[in-house]
Amino acid sequence: MSKQDKVIIFDTTLRDGEQAPGASMNQREKMEVALALERMGVDIIEAGFPVISKGDFESVQMIARKIKTSSVAGLARSIKKDIEAAGEALKSAKHPRIHVFLATSKIHLEYKLKKTPDEIVQMAVDSVTQARKLCADVEFSPEDASRSEKDFLYRVLEAVIKAGARTVNIPDTVGYAMPEQYGKLIVDIRNNVPNIHKAIISVHCHNDLGLAVANSLAAVKNGARQVECTINGIGERAGNASMEEIVMALRTRQDFFGCSTGIKTTEISRTSRLVSKFTGFAVAPNKAIVGANAFRHESGIHQDGVLKEPTTYEIMRPEDVGFSGIGLVLGKHSGRHALKARLKQLGIELNDAELVKAFERFKDLCDKKKEVFDEDLIAIVEDQTQKEVKDIWILESLAVKSGTHIKPEVEVKLKSGGKSHVRKATGDGPIDACYVAIDEITGLKGKLLNYGIQSVTQGKDAQGEVRVRVNFNGQKAMGIGMSTDVIEASVKAYLNAVNKTCAALKSKTRLSEKAIDFGLQP
């Protein structure tokens, strides 16, 4: 395969993805995502927008220091201090890239930037020239390219390539383009920008009309060789092009595209779960590639066909994306070695102490649940990781009285420092009542920002996984809790957020390393 056939995967989960309302991750979480992206073979990781905040600067810096095989990019407006901040944050990166952007559409020039076309060309050239002094690898994005006048776009692209941009990205910033039109734009750029052969053409599509992936693929078909995308398609408004869909489309339809990526596709499921866990954005069951139902066949005719020959109804193998399936793996009589071996097959390696804890929880679950699936095991380990926060408050017991015509009443008993604390409370519902009781005991007043519940597997006895995001007097924390009882899962999730907050408050400094370790939102 020639070099031209490789499509470079530029992941922007940590920058554009994190810009999605409510998706913010703390530094420890960002680092974990960056490591997962590197493990899956992403070519470029856009780690953040260094000038935007101290937190963003530090995240990019941390990621730049740690990531060795992928390039690490930092975003900058066409402004001196942005480019300086990006250069500084990326100083220790093995493969740094500065990504500079400036809008080129008439509407942005007139209303947002209030600049003439000549001024825009000059600004773009000056920024790329400045960035090139700090970094050999510079990408330029004419923001809102798909709505820009083509002749002006060609002029800007030619000028920035001349100034040293190695990659020119063509954003469909507002998700306005249609696949045919966007593909043609790539062809037109190739035919009308004289020095285009000196740069890679990249694409960056938003999903406002649900066309981000289709547009990106149309661009690849017409010569683009870098795609900017995010895990699970998270991002501003309706999101960005979803990486897993792009990668699997290119792989599954190699006959059509004649291109491939360097992505280790078996890491897809795991990375998708990680991003979902940290952002609190659940993946829809019918989401292509990573949804829980993406490889499940319900209809008898389909099941029969798949059993006879999987390719009758499956165009991809679930194992190719690291989907573990719903096989019954372990039960009441399975021992610790069996658990360890199965977790290893799922890509999870635990040390001895972690394994002891996971085994205890596995046995507890076997008492409550007839069948234990791979998803249950993964959930146990993920829940345990959350618990690595020191449990200052532990749930001892919970009693709930609730029904159709009665006001819910609960009694919550928590333990802290060897002492038990009990409170009775009422509320709008049993979960609200529990949260009132917890607030009274802990003295923290929590405002629930987000609450989400989903079942880990199928069946009436499935475990419920609750994710909450809570604001405790300006300190925001995410919590996860699991149980076969959804009220208990809700209490555990809230307590997980309480414990993170207590730990961070204890360490006083909001942005101290300790707060970051505890997973607290700066």
Nearer to Zn ion, 212 or 477 (CB): 212
Nearer to Zn ion, 77 or 369 (CB): 77
The per-residue DSSP string of 135-163 comes to: -S-EEEEEETGGGS-HHHHHHHHHHHHHH
Report DSSP state, residue 25. Answer: -
- 496 touches which of Zn ion, ligand KIV, none (CB within 5 to 8 A by kind)? none
| Min CB(206)–Zn ion separation in Å | 6
| Min CB(445)–ligand KIV separation in Å | 37
Residues 327-356 that bind ligand KIV (CB under 6 A): none
According to the binding rule CB under 6 A, does residue 143 interact with ligand KIV? yes
Nearer to ligand KIV, 138 or 437 (CB): 138
Binding mask 406-435 for Zn ion (x = CB under 5 A): ------------------------------
Nearer to Zn ion, 126 or 208 (CB): 208
Residues ≥6 apart with Cβ < 8 Å to 288: 242, 244, 245, 248, 294
| Min CB(176)–Zn ion separation in Å | 13
In 3D, which of 329, 321, 322, 376 has the Cα closest to residue 346?
A: 322
SS3 455: strand
- 374 touches which of ligand KIV, Zn ion, none (CB within 5 to 8 A by kind)? none
Tokens of 482: 């699991």
- Assess contact for 75 and 101: CB atoms under 8 A: yes
Counting beta carbons within 10 angstroms of the beta carbon of residue 433, is it exposed (0 to 12), middle (13 to 18) or buried (19 or more)? buried
Nearer to ligand KIV, 215 or 499 (CB): 215
Binding mask 399-438 for ligand KIV (x = CB under 6 A): ----------------------------------------
| Min CB(85)–ligand KIV separation in Å | 15
Give the C-alpha separation, 145 to 123, whole Å. 16
| Min CB(48)–ligand KIV separation in Å | 12
- 271 touches which of Zn ion, ligand KIV, none (CB within 5 to 8 A by kind)? none
- 97 touches which of ligand KIV, Zn ion, none (CB within 5 to 8 A by kind)? none
According to the binding rule CB under 5 A, does residue 172 interact with Zn ion? no
| Min CB(16)–Zn ion separation in Å | 4
Nearer to Zn ion, 16 or 29 (CB): 16
Question: 188 vs 40, 140, 200, 498, CA distance in Å?
Answer: 33, 18, 15, 55
Give the C-alpha separation, 427 to 435, whole Å. 9
Give the C-alpha separation, 479 to 280, whole Å. 9
According to the binding rule CB under 5 A, does residue 16 interact with Zn ion? yes
SS3 329: strand
Q: Is 491 left (phi over 0), alpha (psi -120 to 50) or beta?
A: alpha
- 141 touches which of ligand KIV, Zn ion, none (CB within 5 to 8 A by kind)? ligand KIV
According to the binding rule CB under 6 A, does residue 101 interact with ligand KIV? yes
| Min CB(170)–ligand KIV separation in Å | 9
247-285 as b/e: b if 16+ CB within 10 A: bbbbbeeeeebebebebebebbbbbbbbbbbbbbbbbee
In 3D, which of 196, 174, 178 has the Cα closest to residue 187?
A: 196
Nearer to ligand KIV, 201 or 482 (CB): 201
Give the C-alpha separation, 460 to 369, whole Å. 9
Tokens of 303: 């099941």
Give the strand pairing for 419-426 and 446-455: unpaired
Nearer to ligand KIV, 16 or 38 (CB): 16
3 state SS for 385-449: HHCCCCCCCEEEEEEEECCCCCCCEEEEEEEECCEEEEEEEECCCHHHHHHHHHHHHHCCCEEEE
From 59, 141, 483, 501, residue interacting with ligand KIV (rule: CB under 6 A) = 141
- Assess contact for 362 and 380: CB atoms under 8 A: yes
Tokens of 142: 């004419």
- 488 touches which of Zn ion, ligand KIV, none (CB within 5 to 8 A by kind)? none
| Min CB(228)–Zn ion separation in Å | 8
In 3D, which of 95, 109, 102 has the Cα closest to residue 137?
A: 95
Nearer to ligand KIV, 203 or 495 (CB): 203
Nearer to Zn ion, 16 or 58 (CB): 16
| Min CB(326)–ligand KIV separation in Å | 37
Determine the size of the site formed for ligand KIV (CB under 6 A): 9
Nearer to ligand KIV, 44 or 380 (CB): 44
From 11, 16, 43, 383, residue interacting with ligand KIV (rule: CB under 6 A) = 16
| Min CB(15)–ligand KIV separation in Å | 8
Nearer to ligand KIV, 229 or 294 (CB): 229
- 101 touches which of ligand KIV, Zn ion, none (CB within 5 to 8 A by kind)? ligand KIV
According to the binding rule CB under 6 A, does residue 230 interact with ligand KIV? no
205-225 as b/e: b if 16+ CB within 10 A: bbbbeebbbbbbbbbbbbebb
Determine the size of the site formed for Zn ion (CB under 5 A): 1
Residues 148-187 that bind ligand KIV (CB under 6 A): 169, 171, 173
Number of residues assigned to the chain: 522
Interaction site with Zn ion (CB under 5 A): 16
Site residues (CB under 6 A) for ligand KIV?
16, 101, 141, 143, 169, 171, 173, 204, 206
